[in-house]
Amino acid sequence: MPSQRDIDATTAAVTGIVFQCQSVGAGFIAEPDAPSLKRDVDVLLRLFRRVRPDETYVLGSKGSIVRSTTLRREVALARRNLTDGGCAPKQADRLRTEVNR
């Protein structure tokens, strides 16, 4: 099972990617911060190599929205956001290539 630190790192990276790509898609910003997206993808790839990607864990806490997920699902969410609207297709390709090895 991923540690709390792994879960927090995954959540932060995916949140950063979704926020930036959705902001571009909505027209709030002209383009995403490429170095920041690269760092987020780097985090996800390091975790994917180290943690069992299909191990289920819970996001959220008592009194908030709680859902079960896996690192593989979170990486797929990040990849979809990087791809949608051409946010950062090179970073999406990095995720796809590394995850499918």
pLDDT tens readout for residues 29-41: 999 999 999 999 9
Residue 48 has pLDDT above 90, yes or no: yes
> What is the C-alpha to C-alpha distance for residues 20 and 30, in angstroms, rounded to an integer?
10
**CA 40 centroid distance within chain:** 7
pLDDT at site 15: 96
Count of other CB atoms within 10 angstroms of residue 73? 15
pLDDT at site 100: 86
pLDDT at site 73: 96
pLDDT band with cut points at 50, 70 and 90 for residue 63: confident
Rounded to 5°, the CA angle 5-13-86 comes to: 165
What percent of the chain shows pLDDT beyond 70?
99
pLDDT band with cut points at 50, 70 and 90 for residue 101: confident
Q: What is the pTM of this model?
A: 0.92
